[in-house]
Amino acid sequence: MHFLHGFLLFLEVKMKILVIGGGIVGSLLTKELSKYENIDVTLVEANYDLGAGVTKANSAILHGGYDDEPSTLRAKLCARGNKMYDDLVDELGVPVQRTGSLVVSEGNDGDKKKIIELYKRGIANGVSGMKIVEGEELRKIEPYLSPVFKYGLYCSSAGITEPWIVAINSGRLAESNGAEIMLGDRVVGGLVRNKRAVSAVLNSGKKIQADIFINCAGLYYEEIAKYFDVEVEKVLLRKGEYLLLDKAAKQFVNGVIFPLPTKMGKGKLILPTIDGGVFLGPTSEDLKSFDPEDLATTRNGLEEILKSSDELVPGISKFNWIIKSFAGLRPETEGKDFIIKRDEEISNFITVGGIRSPGLTAAPAISEYVINEILNGQMNIKLIKKEKIVERIPAKIRVREESFERISELIEKDELYGRIICQCNQVSEREIVDAVHSGARTIESVKLRTRAGFGRCQGGFCTWKVAKIISRETGIELEELIMNNENSYLLEGKVR
């Protein structure tokens, strides 16, 4: 019997869906799929936590949605995704700050034309909160902006978030609703029979059979496609390097400041981070070969960032505020647009690839698109919502964000709130213990979940304390504890 007819005839039977890749895209999709009665969903992620791929190293901006041509999926899903984040705040307890964004130009005729084009494109894409600003109005929005900028586009619906927490909490909610989340195992092969994907082979030797496979593997989507005889557009990697500045720099920046975009992207920006620091960057450099592990920063790249940041906010690079440099890789394709489709040959295989910027912003809308347009629409699966689900993950208590009175109350009930482990970000032992109990097993997992180690000392003072807490709470020997990936042990051996 043809596979599709099989779907139509056996609607009551639970359908197994395997999502490959737990970045923001795969995790949000798994969360949504876990809400259906007739779906049994498993997510497999190669890293030891969700959101630790491209989702971990980017600008973390919720873009307004005026950059992309209205006919593209990127435009449609960005504008929609931006709006959907309001619901995610409530559902996943994730932080979103609508800081607004400002694209700045010197205001000559050519610049004005480009700004007006962006504005019109935004209107066509359904973006809310845009206005063209001139002269001193720019400095009311960003008081430390260079006086050379006289004309710009302000967008109040743009903002910032913490992308990996969106992924991690999506996984937690999905698990509460019956999904299986497999971490630290990777798909290394696939079995295809009669033009139908049958099972995925994992590094651990396990095989997972499924009725539908969804490829959300980010930079590795081409590799996954090959395992299942699916042809996809080549991935071209474009590196973006960044500098992270200490919280002291935040006084000079209110929202996201963009220069005028070029064909290489949205340019090198200045923006606040969700925990009160400042990002400078990213650069935009096409890698000559496919090396998804190349996350090195370069002297040239970092110098370029300092120069362009000083052009936007004069002097911002001059203080001793740099605490970290890092890089992320964009999964570019020649076609430029997101590739979200059911394969024509292998009809139970769905590709969600080429998810470059604005992929974070679009991610919730990408899930909606896969479910409505592909599963419900093209594949004609009548998805039935579960009658009862766990609806939300409560926002976590962060000592740093509470008032003194509230902190006193918390300590009264639980003294672990009073023991500060990460001094830079004021993360308490209770927050770290809770992160471990919610699944964190590595130093990086605790960092992503609590912000311990994200501050000025970058974990210099708290890593060892965090290691001891993980070991105490889980029974993992300190010698076995890793930073993030396989073999990234904290301890090498005994000194004496």
The yes or no reply on residue 44 touching ligand FAD (CB under 6 A) is yes
Distance set, CA 227 to CA 181, 218, 346, 370, 421 (Å): 21, 15, 12, 21, 45
> To the nearest whole angstrom, how small is the minimum distance from the Cβ of residue 63 to ligand FAD?
5
The yes or no reply on residue 360 touching ligand FAD (CB under 6 A) is yes
Closer residue to ligand FAD, CB minimum distance, 7 or 227:
227
> How is residue 202 written in tokens?
């994992």
Site for ligand FAD in 371-410 (CB under 6 A): none
Confirm if 482 and 443 have CB atoms less than 8 A apart: yes
Which of 471, 396, 27 has the alpha carbon at shortest distance from 218?
27
Among 220, 252, 258, 349, binds ligand FAD (CB under 6 A): 220
Among 25, 33, 174, 393, binds ligand FAD (CB under 6 A): 25
Confirm if 213 and 18 have CB atoms less than 8 A apart: yes
Closer residue to ligand FAD, CB minimum distance, 58 or 347:
58
Which of 446, 452, 389 has the alpha carbon at shortest distance from 421?
452
Contact partners, residue 14, CB within 8 Å, separation at least 6: 38, 39, 40
Report the phi/psi class of residue 65: left, alpha or beta, with left for phi > 0 and alpha for psi in -120 to 50. Answer: left
Alpha-carbon gap, residue 119 to 134, rounded angstroms: 14
The yes or no reply on residue 165 touching ligand FAD (CB under 6 A) is no
Among 197, 244, 350, 355, binds ligand FAD (CB under 6 A): 355
Among 32, 40, 45, 142, binds ligand FAD (CB under 6 A): 45
136: buried, middle or exposed (CB in 10 Å: 19+, 13-18, 0-12)?
Answer: exposed
Pairing label, strands 420-422, 427-428:
antiparallel
Among 64, 159, 218, 301, binds ligand FAD (CB under 6 A): 218
Alpha helical stretches, state H, 155-282: 163-176, 221-227
The yes or no reply on residue 82 touching ligand FAD (CB under 6 A) is no
The yes or no reply on residue 122 touching ligand FAD (CB under 6 A) is no
Active-site residue flag, 437: no
Stretch touching ligand FAD by CB under 6 A, among 16-24, 115-123, 131-139, 294-302: 16-24
State CA 494 to chain mean position distance. 38
DSSP state of 376: I
Stretch touching ligand FAD by CB under 6 A, among 6-14, 306-314, 326-334, 414-422: 326-334
Closer residue to ligand FAD, CB minimum distance, 53 or 301:
53
The dihedrals phi and psi of 112, each to the nearest 5 degrees, come to -60, -40
> How is residue 448 written in tokens?
């992503």
Stretch touching ligand FAD by CB under 6 A, among 126-134, 136-144, 298-306, 328-336: 328-336
Site string for ligand FAD, 232-261 (x = CB under 6 A): --------x---------------------
The yes or no reply on residue 369 touching ligand FAD (CB under 6 A) is no
Closer residue to ligand FAD, CB minimum distance, 430 or 449:
449
Contact partners, residue 310, CB within 8 Å, separation at least 6: 316, 317, 318
Closer residue to ligand FAD, CB minimum distance, 14 or 226:
226
> To the nearest whole angstrom, how small is the minimum distance from the Cβ of residue 433 to ligand FAD?
26
What residues are labeled active site?
63
Residues in contact with ligand FAD by CB under 6 A are 20-26, 44-47, 52-55, 58-61, 63, 186-187, 216-220, 224, 240, 282, 328-330, 355-361
